[in-house]
Amino acid sequence: MNNFEWNFPTKINYGPGKVNEVGEIAKAYGKKAMIATYARGGFLDSIIDTVEASLKEAGIEFVTFTGIEPNPRAQTIDKAIDKFKAEKCDLVIALGGGSVIDGSKYIAATSFSGGKAWDYVVLGDRVPREYTGAYPIISIPTISASGSECNAGGVLTNAETNEKSFSRSPYRFPKVAIVDPELLTSVPLSITKDSCVDIFSHLIEHYLSSHSESDFADRITEGIILTLKENFDKIITNLSDTEVRGQLALCSIFGWSGLQALGRTGSIPMHSIEMPLSAIYDLPHGRGMTIVIPPYLELMADVLPHRWAKLARRCFGVTEQDDLKAAKLLSVKVVEWLKSTESYLTLSDVNIPSDQFEKMADDVVRMFPGSKANTTTGPRPVTKEEIIKIYEMCK
Protein backbone atom coordinates (compact mmCIF):
# COMPACT_ATOMS: atom_id res chain seq x y z
CA MET A 1 0.00 0.00 0.00
CA ASN A 2 1.27 3.51 -0.81
CA ASN A 3 1.48 6.38 1.66
CA PHE A 4 -1.33 8.87 1.24
CA GLU A 5 -3.04 11.96 2.56
CA TRP A 6 -6.78 12.15 2.18
CA ASN A 7 -9.56 14.34 3.43
CA PHE A 8 -13.18 14.82 2.54
CA PRO A 9 -14.02 18.37 3.63
CA THR A 10 -17.32 18.81 1.75
CA LYS A 11 -20.44 18.61 3.86
CA ILE A 12 -23.16 16.61 2.09
CA ASN A 13 -26.67 17.86 2.68
CA TYR A 14 -28.86 15.09 1.21
CA GLY A 15 -32.59 14.76 0.77
CA PRO A 16 -35.60 15.34 -1.47
CA GLY A 17 -36.43 19.06 -1.56
CA LYS A 18 -33.09 20.11 -0.04
CA VAL A 19 -32.50 22.55 -2.90
CA ASN A 20 -35.03 24.85 -1.26
CA GLU A 21 -32.60 25.33 1.63
CA VAL A 22 -29.78 26.77 -0.47
CA GLY A 23 -30.48 30.34 0.69
CA GLU A 24 -30.21 29.45 4.37
CA ILE A 25 -27.11 27.34 3.74
CA ALA A 26 -25.46 30.10 1.69
CA LYS A 27 -25.72 32.63 4.53
CA ALA A 28 -22.73 31.04 6.25
CA TYR A 29 -20.48 31.46 3.21
CA GLY A 30 -21.13 34.80 1.53
CA LYS A 31 -23.22 37.87 0.91
CA LYS A 32 -23.41 37.96 -2.87
CA ALA A 33 -23.52 34.75 -4.86
CA MET A 34 -22.95 33.95 -8.49
CA ILE A 35 -25.25 31.12 -9.56
CA ALA A 36 -23.28 29.39 -12.31
CA THR A 37 -25.30 27.11 -14.56
CA TYR A 38 -26.14 25.93 -18.08
CA ALA A 39 -27.99 28.05 -20.62
CA ARG A 40 -31.66 28.52 -19.93
CA GLY A 41 -34.12 26.71 -22.15
CA GLY A 42 -33.58 23.19 -20.81
CA PHE A 43 -34.87 20.97 -18.05
CA LEU A 44 -33.11 23.05 -15.38
CA ASP A 45 -35.07 26.27 -15.85
CA SER A 46 -37.49 25.68 -12.99
CA ILE A 47 -34.62 24.64 -10.71
CA ILE A 48 -32.74 27.87 -11.47
CA ASP A 49 -35.93 29.70 -10.46
CA THR A 50 -36.08 27.71 -7.22
CA VAL A 51 -32.48 28.56 -6.31
CA GLU A 52 -33.01 32.24 -7.08
CA ALA A 53 -36.17 32.31 -4.95
CA SER A 54 -34.44 30.62 -2.03
CA LEU A 55 -31.55 33.11 -2.12
CA LYS A 56 -33.96 36.04 -2.33
CA GLU A 57 -35.89 34.77 0.65
CA ALA A 58 -32.70 34.40 2.68
CA GLY A 59 -31.56 37.92 1.79
CA ILE A 60 -28.55 36.82 -0.25
CA GLU A 61 -27.80 39.00 -3.26
CA PHE A 62 -27.00 37.12 -6.44
CA VAL A 63 -26.23 37.27 -10.14
CA THR A 64 -26.94 34.34 -12.42
CA PHE A 65 -24.38 33.34 -15.05
CA THR A 66 -25.94 31.00 -17.60
CA GLY A 67 -24.32 29.41 -20.61
CA ILE A 68 -21.69 27.06 -19.20
CA GLU A 69 -21.38 24.31 -21.78
CA PRO A 70 -21.07 20.55 -21.36
CA ASN A 71 -17.27 20.33 -21.78
CA PRO A 72 -16.96 23.81 -20.24
CA ARG A 73 -14.91 26.23 -22.29
CA ALA A 74 -12.14 28.26 -20.71
CA GLN A 75 -13.30 31.26 -22.74
CA THR A 76 -16.80 31.06 -21.23
CA ILE A 77 -15.41 30.62 -17.73
CA ASP A 78 -13.22 33.69 -18.20
CA LYS A 79 -16.36 35.70 -18.97
CA ALA A 80 -17.92 34.40 -15.76
CA ILE A 81 -14.78 35.36 -13.84
CA ASP A 82 -14.99 38.93 -15.24
CA LYS A 83 -18.63 39.13 -14.18
CA PHE A 84 -17.90 37.64 -10.74
CA LYS A 85 -15.28 40.32 -10.10
CA ALA A 86 -17.29 43.19 -11.61
CA GLU A 87 -20.30 42.28 -9.48
CA LYS A 88 -18.12 41.85 -6.38
CA CYS A 89 -19.47 38.37 -5.66
CA ASP A 90 -17.97 36.32 -2.84
CA LEU A 91 -19.57 32.89 -3.32
CA VAL A 92 -20.24 30.53 -6.26
CA ILE A 93 -23.31 28.32 -6.35
CA ALA A 94 -22.68 25.65 -8.96
CA LEU A 95 -26.00 24.39 -10.26
CA GLY A 96 -25.52 21.64 -12.83
CA GLY A 97 -23.57 18.54 -13.72
CA GLY A 98 -19.83 17.99 -13.64
CA SER A 99 -19.23 20.55 -16.36
CA VAL A 100 -20.87 23.35 -14.43
CA ILE A 101 -19.29 22.34 -11.13
CA ASP A 102 -15.84 22.02 -12.72
CA GLY A 103 -16.26 25.41 -14.37
CA SER A 104 -17.43 26.92 -11.09
CA LYS A 105 -14.26 25.76 -9.38
CA TYR A 106 -12.23 27.73 -11.91
CA ILE A 107 -14.51 30.75 -11.39
CA ALA A 108 -14.10 30.63 -7.61
CA ALA A 109 -10.35 30.03 -7.53
CA THR A 110 -9.28 32.16 -10.52
CA SER A 111 -11.36 35.15 -9.38
CA PHE A 112 -9.52 34.93 -6.08
CA SER A 113 -6.03 34.23 -7.44
CA GLY A 114 -5.90 36.22 -10.70
CA GLY A 115 -5.16 35.38 -14.33
CA LYS A 116 -7.19 33.26 -16.73
CA ALA A 117 -8.84 29.91 -16.07
CA TRP A 118 -6.59 28.06 -18.55
CA ASP A 119 -3.41 29.25 -16.74
CA TYR A 120 -4.03 26.64 -14.07
CA VAL A 121 -4.54 23.43 -16.07
CA VAL A 122 -1.99 20.68 -16.55
CA LEU A 123 -0.54 20.92 -20.05
CA GLY A 124 2.42 18.74 -20.99
CA ASP A 125 5.69 20.09 -19.62
CA ARG A 126 4.25 23.47 -18.67
CA VAL A 127 4.27 24.28 -14.96
CA PRO A 128 0.68 25.39 -14.25
CA ARG A 129 0.07 28.54 -12.25
CA GLU A 130 -0.85 27.90 -8.61
CA TYR A 131 -3.88 29.31 -6.86
CA THR A 132 -3.45 31.38 -3.72
CA GLY A 133 -6.97 30.62 -2.50
CA ALA A 134 -10.58 30.47 -3.68
CA TYR A 135 -13.98 31.89 -2.90
CA PRO A 136 -16.32 29.32 -1.34
CA ILE A 137 -18.35 27.01 -3.56
CA ILE A 138 -21.71 25.37 -2.91
CA SER A 139 -22.42 22.59 -5.38
CA ILE A 140 -25.91 21.49 -6.34
CA PRO A 141 -25.42 18.49 -8.63
CA THR A 142 -28.16 17.94 -11.19
CA ILE A 143 -26.45 14.87 -12.66
CA SER A 144 -24.68 12.04 -10.81
CA ALA A 145 -21.50 11.31 -12.73
CA SER A 146 -18.33 13.24 -12.16
CA GLY A 147 -18.10 13.30 -8.38
CA SER A 148 -17.09 16.93 -8.88
CA GLU A 149 -19.72 17.97 -6.33
CA CYS A 150 -17.41 16.80 -3.52
CA ASN A 151 -13.90 16.77 -4.97
CA ALA A 152 -11.18 19.22 -5.95
CA GLY A 153 -10.75 18.26 -9.61
CA GLY A 154 -11.91 20.13 -12.66
CA VAL A 155 -11.70 19.71 -16.43
CA LEU A 156 -11.71 22.54 -18.96
CA THR A 157 -11.76 22.75 -22.75
CA ASN A 158 -9.86 25.40 -24.64
CA ALA A 159 -12.09 26.18 -27.63
CA GLU A 160 -9.28 28.06 -29.39
CA THR A 161 -6.81 25.17 -29.39
CA ASN A 162 -9.24 22.21 -29.15
CA GLU A 163 -7.43 21.00 -26.05
CA LYS A 164 -9.04 19.56 -22.97
CA SER A 165 -7.21 19.22 -19.68
CA PHE A 166 -7.64 19.30 -15.93
CA SER A 167 -6.27 20.49 -12.63
CA ARG A 168 -6.80 19.76 -8.99
CA SER A 169 -6.53 22.09 -6.02
CA PRO A 170 -7.49 21.67 -2.37
CA TYR A 171 -8.76 25.26 -2.42
CA ARG A 172 -11.56 24.15 -4.71
CA PHE A 173 -13.36 21.57 -2.57
CA PRO A 174 -16.98 22.71 -2.38
CA LYS A 175 -17.91 23.70 1.17
CA VAL A 176 -21.32 22.05 0.87
CA ALA A 177 -22.92 19.73 -1.68
CA ILE A 178 -26.71 19.94 -1.70
CA VAL A 179 -27.68 16.55 -3.09
CA ASP A 180 -31.38 16.55 -3.87
CA PRO A 181 -32.55 13.35 -5.58
CA GLU A 182 -35.71 15.06 -6.82
CA LEU A 183 -33.53 17.29 -9.01
CA LEU A 184 -31.78 14.23 -10.37
CA THR A 185 -35.02 12.71 -11.66
CA SER A 186 -35.05 15.32 -14.43
CA VAL A 187 -31.99 13.80 -16.14
CA PRO A 188 -33.04 12.22 -19.46
CA LEU A 189 -32.35 8.55 -20.25
CA SER A 190 -29.37 9.01 -22.58
CA ILE A 191 -27.55 11.31 -20.15
CA THR A 192 -28.39 8.97 -17.27
CA LYS A 193 -26.70 6.14 -19.15
CA ASP A 194 -23.63 8.24 -20.02
CA SER A 195 -23.40 9.24 -16.37
CA CYS A 196 -23.49 5.70 -15.05
CA VAL A 197 -20.68 4.69 -17.40
CA ASP A 198 -18.66 7.72 -16.34
CA ILE A 199 -19.01 6.63 -12.70
CA PHE A 200 -17.84 3.15 -13.73
CA SER A 201 -14.84 4.64 -15.52
CA HIS A 202 -13.77 6.46 -12.36
CA LEU A 203 -14.03 3.31 -10.32
CA ILE A 204 -11.85 1.25 -12.63
CA GLU A 205 -9.11 3.79 -13.51
CA HIS A 206 -7.00 3.45 -10.37
CA TYR A 207 -8.07 -0.16 -9.80
CA LEU A 208 -6.44 -1.06 -13.12
CA SER A 209 -3.48 1.30 -13.22
CA SER A 210 -1.80 1.10 -9.81
CA HIS A 211 0.99 -1.35 -9.07
CA SER A 212 0.29 -1.08 -5.35
CA GLU A 213 -2.25 -3.25 -3.59
CA SER A 214 -4.92 -2.15 -1.12
CA ASP A 215 -7.60 -4.65 -0.16
CA PHE A 216 -9.58 -1.86 1.45
CA ALA A 217 -9.66 0.22 -1.73
CA ASP A 218 -10.48 -2.85 -3.82
CA ARG A 219 -13.46 -3.78 -1.68
CA ILE A 220 -14.73 -0.19 -1.58
CA THR A 221 -14.45 0.00 -5.37
CA GLU A 222 -16.06 -3.37 -5.94
CA GLY A 223 -18.92 -2.52 -3.59
CA ILE A 224 -19.61 0.72 -5.43
CA ILE A 225 -19.42 -1.01 -8.83
CA LEU A 226 -21.97 -3.63 -7.71
CA THR A 227 -24.22 -0.90 -6.31
CA LEU A 228 -23.85 1.04 -9.55
CA LYS A 229 -24.72 -1.96 -11.71
CA GLU A 230 -27.81 -2.86 -9.68
CA ASN A 231 -29.08 0.70 -9.67
CA PHE A 232 -28.22 1.27 -13.34
CA ASP A 233 -30.60 -1.57 -14.18
CA LYS A 234 -33.28 -0.01 -12.00
CA ILE A 235 -32.97 3.59 -13.13
CA ILE A 236 -33.36 2.85 -16.83
CA THR A 237 -36.77 1.34 -16.10
CA ASN A 238 -37.91 4.25 -13.91
CA LEU A 239 -36.06 7.54 -14.23
CA SER A 240 -38.13 9.15 -11.46
CA ASP A 241 -37.18 6.78 -8.66
CA THR A 242 -35.64 9.09 -6.05
CA GLU A 243 -34.30 6.20 -3.94
CA VAL A 244 -32.34 4.88 -6.91
CA ARG A 245 -31.22 8.38 -7.87
CA GLY A 246 -29.94 8.75 -4.31
CA GLN A 247 -27.91 5.55 -4.53
CA LEU A 248 -26.39 6.65 -7.85
CA ALA A 249 -25.58 10.03 -6.30
CA LEU A 250 -23.50 8.26 -3.65
CA CYS A 251 -21.78 6.15 -6.32
CA SER A 252 -20.88 9.36 -8.13
CA ILE A 253 -19.56 11.13 -5.04
CA PHE A 254 -17.52 8.31 -3.57
CA GLY A 255 -16.49 6.82 -6.91
CA TRP A 256 -14.19 9.78 -7.56
CA SER A 257 -13.47 11.00 -4.05
CA GLY A 258 -10.13 9.29 -3.53
CA LEU A 259 -11.73 6.90 -1.04
CA GLN A 260 -11.93 4.33 -3.83
CA ALA A 261 -8.15 4.51 -4.35
CA LEU A 262 -6.70 4.84 -0.82
CA GLY A 263 -3.26 3.30 -0.77
CA ARG A 264 -3.17 2.50 -4.47
CA THR A 265 -3.52 5.71 -6.43
CA GLY A 266 -2.60 5.15 -10.05
CA SER A 267 -3.08 7.07 -13.28
CA ILE A 268 -6.08 7.73 -15.52
CA PRO A 269 -5.16 6.57 -19.03
CA MET A 270 -8.74 5.94 -20.16
CA HIS A 271 -9.68 9.52 -19.35
CA SER A 272 -6.60 10.82 -21.15
CA ILE A 273 -7.46 8.80 -24.25
CA GLU A 274 -11.06 10.06 -24.18
CA MET A 275 -10.09 13.72 -23.84
CA PRO A 276 -9.64 14.40 -27.62
CA LEU A 277 -13.10 12.99 -28.38
CA SER A 278 -14.64 15.66 -26.18
CA ALA A 279 -12.14 18.38 -27.09
CA ILE A 280 -12.32 18.00 -30.88
CA TYR A 281 -15.84 16.65 -31.41
CA ASP A 282 -17.56 18.03 -28.30
CA LEU A 283 -18.73 14.52 -27.42
CA PRO A 284 -20.25 14.32 -23.91
CA HIS A 285 -17.53 12.93 -21.67
CA GLY A 286 -19.50 9.93 -20.38
CA ARG A 287 -20.39 8.93 -23.93
CA GLY A 288 -16.73 9.11 -24.87
CA MET A 289 -15.83 6.87 -21.95
CA THR A 290 -18.45 4.34 -23.09
CA ILE A 291 -16.66 4.11 -26.42
CA VAL A 292 -13.09 4.01 -25.13
CA ILE A 293 -13.36 1.62 -22.17
CA PRO A 294 -13.92 -1.75 -23.96
CA PRO A 295 -10.99 -1.52 -26.40
CA TYR A 296 -8.68 -0.23 -23.68
CA LEU A 297 -9.61 -3.18 -21.46
CA GLU A 298 -9.03 -5.58 -24.34
CA LEU A 299 -5.70 -4.15 -25.50
CA MET A 300 -4.13 -3.72 -22.05
CA ALA A 301 -5.36 -6.93 -20.38
CA ASP A 302 -1.92 -8.51 -20.31
CA VAL A 303 -0.25 -5.57 -18.53
CA LEU A 304 -1.63 -6.25 -15.04
CA PRO A 305 -3.60 -9.46 -15.61
CA HIS A 306 -4.11 -10.20 -11.91
CA ARG A 307 -5.85 -6.82 -11.46
CA TRP A 308 -8.02 -7.26 -14.56
CA ALA A 309 -8.84 -10.80 -13.42
CA LYS A 310 -9.77 -9.69 -9.90
CA LEU A 311 -12.24 -7.14 -11.25
CA ALA A 312 -13.66 -9.64 -13.75
CA ARG A 313 -14.22 -12.24 -11.04
CA ARG A 314 -15.54 -10.00 -8.29
CA CYS A 315 -17.83 -7.74 -10.33
CA PHE A 316 -18.62 -9.60 -13.55
CA GLY A 317 -19.08 -13.22 -12.49
CA VAL A 318 -15.99 -14.62 -14.23
CA THR A 319 -14.96 -17.99 -12.78
CA GLU A 320 -11.89 -18.66 -14.93
CA GLN A 321 -8.94 -19.52 -12.63
CA ASP A 322 -6.10 -18.55 -14.97
CA ASP A 323 -5.37 -14.83 -14.48
CA LEU A 324 -4.53 -14.01 -18.08
CA LYS A 325 -7.59 -15.81 -19.45
CA ALA A 326 -9.81 -14.15 -16.84
CA ALA A 327 -8.22 -10.75 -17.61
CA LYS A 328 -9.10 -11.14 -21.27
CA LEU A 329 -12.71 -11.86 -20.37
CA LEU A 330 -13.11 -8.49 -18.65
CA SER A 331 -13.67 -6.48 -21.85
CA VAL A 332 -16.07 -9.17 -23.11
CA LYS A 333 -18.11 -8.95 -19.91
CA VAL A 334 -18.11 -5.15 -19.88
CA VAL A 335 -19.38 -5.08 -23.47
CA GLU A 336 -22.12 -7.57 -22.51
CA TRP A 337 -23.06 -5.33 -19.58
CA LEU A 338 -23.15 -2.17 -21.72
CA LYS A 339 -25.27 -3.96 -24.32
CA SER A 340 -27.66 -5.23 -21.64
CA THR A 341 -28.37 -1.61 -20.67
CA GLU A 342 -28.46 -0.51 -24.33
CA SER A 343 -25.51 1.78 -23.68
CA TYR A 344 -22.84 0.25 -25.91
CA LEU A 345 -21.52 2.66 -28.53
CA THR A 346 -18.83 2.92 -31.20
CA LEU A 347 -17.31 5.96 -32.89
CA SER A 348 -19.48 5.41 -35.95
CA ASP A 349 -22.59 5.53 -33.75
CA VAL A 350 -21.65 9.11 -32.85
CA ASN A 351 -20.43 10.00 -36.38
CA ILE A 352 -16.80 10.51 -35.48
CA PRO A 353 -14.54 9.77 -38.47
CA SER A 354 -11.12 8.14 -38.35
CA ASP A 355 -9.16 10.87 -40.13
CA GLN A 356 -7.78 12.50 -36.98
CA PHE A 357 -6.64 9.47 -34.97
CA GLU A 358 -2.98 10.40 -35.39
CA LYS A 359 -3.53 13.97 -34.21
CA MET A 360 -5.71 12.76 -31.31
CA ALA A 361 -3.00 10.36 -30.15
CA ASP A 362 -0.40 13.13 -30.54
CA ASP A 363 -2.52 15.35 -28.30
CA VAL A 364 -2.74 12.65 -25.62
CA VAL A 365 1.01 11.98 -25.45
CA ARG A 366 1.84 15.70 -25.60
CA MET A 367 -0.64 16.82 -22.96
CA PHE A 368 -0.37 13.85 -20.59
CA PRO A 369 3.15 12.55 -21.18
CA GLY A 370 4.29 9.23 -19.77
CA SER A 371 7.77 8.36 -18.55
CA LYS A 372 8.99 7.53 -22.06
CA ALA A 373 8.86 9.60 -25.26
CA ASN A 374 5.60 9.43 -27.20
CA THR A 375 3.64 7.73 -24.42
CA THR A 376 0.97 8.60 -21.89
CA THR A 377 0.83 7.38 -18.30
CA GLY A 378 -0.87 4.08 -17.51
CA PRO A 379 -0.13 0.83 -15.71
CA ARG A 380 2.87 1.01 -18.03
CA PRO A 381 3.49 3.81 -20.54
CA VAL A 382 0.84 3.57 -23.26
CA THR A 383 2.44 4.29 -26.63
CA LYS A 384 1.08 6.60 -29.30
CA GLU A 385 0.68 3.57 -31.59
CA GLU A 386 -1.40 1.78 -28.95
CA ILE A 387 -3.60 4.84 -28.52
CA ILE A 388 -4.22 4.92 -32.29
CA LYS A 389 -4.95 1.19 -32.15
CA ILE A 390 -7.52 1.81 -29.38
CA TYR A 391 -9.23 4.47 -31.55
CA GLU A 392 -9.21 1.98 -34.46
CA MET A 393 -10.87 -0.60 -32.22
CA CYS A 394 -13.54 1.97 -31.30
CA LYS A 395 -14.76 2.29 -34.92
**198 lies in the binding site for Fe ion (CB under 5 A):** yes
Strand 137-141 with 176-179, pairing: parallel
Q: In whole angstroms, give the CA distance from residue 14 to residue 247.
A: 11
The distance of closest approach from Cβ of residue 268 to Fe ion in the complex, given in angstroms and rounded to an integer, is 8
Q: What is the torsion angle, in degrees rounded to the nearest 10, for the CA atoms of residue 318, residue 321, residue 324 and residue 329?
A: -20
Choices 74-82, 120-128, 192-200, 329-337; region in contact with Fe ion by CB under 5 A: 192-200
Cα Dmax for the chain: 64
Q: Find the helix packing angle between 285-299 and 323-340, rounded to 10°.
A: 150
Amino acid at 375: T
Query: In sequence order, what DSSP letters do the residues of 80-136 get, joined into one string?
Result: HHHHHHHTT--EEEEEESHHHHHHHHHHHHHHHH-S-GGGGS-BTTB-----S----
CB nearer to Fe ion: pick between 180 and 198: 198
Choices 26-34, 40-48, 173-181, 190-198; region in contact with Fe ion by CB under 5 A: 190-198
Choices 47-55, 130-138, 194-202, 239-247; region in contact with Fe ion by CB under 5 A: 194-202
**149 lies in the binding site for Fe ion (CB under 5 A):** no
CB nearer to Fe ion: pick between 198 and 386: 198
**163 lies in the binding site for Fe ion (CB under 5 A):** no
Total of chain residues touching Fe ion, rule CB under 5 A: 1
Taking CB atoms, the residue at the shortest distance from Fe ion is 198
CB nearer to Fe ion: pick between 18 and 271: 271
The distance of closest approach from Cβ of residue 289 to Fe ion in the complex, given in angstroms and rounded to an integer, is 6
**218 lies in the binding site for Fe ion (CB under 5 A):** no
**363 lies in the binding site for Fe ion (CB under 5 A):** no
Q: Which helix (H) or strand (E) holds 138?
A: strand 137-141
CB nearer to Fe ion: pick between 18 and 202: 202
DSSP 33: E
Chain residues that interact with Fe ion, rule: CB under 5 A: 198
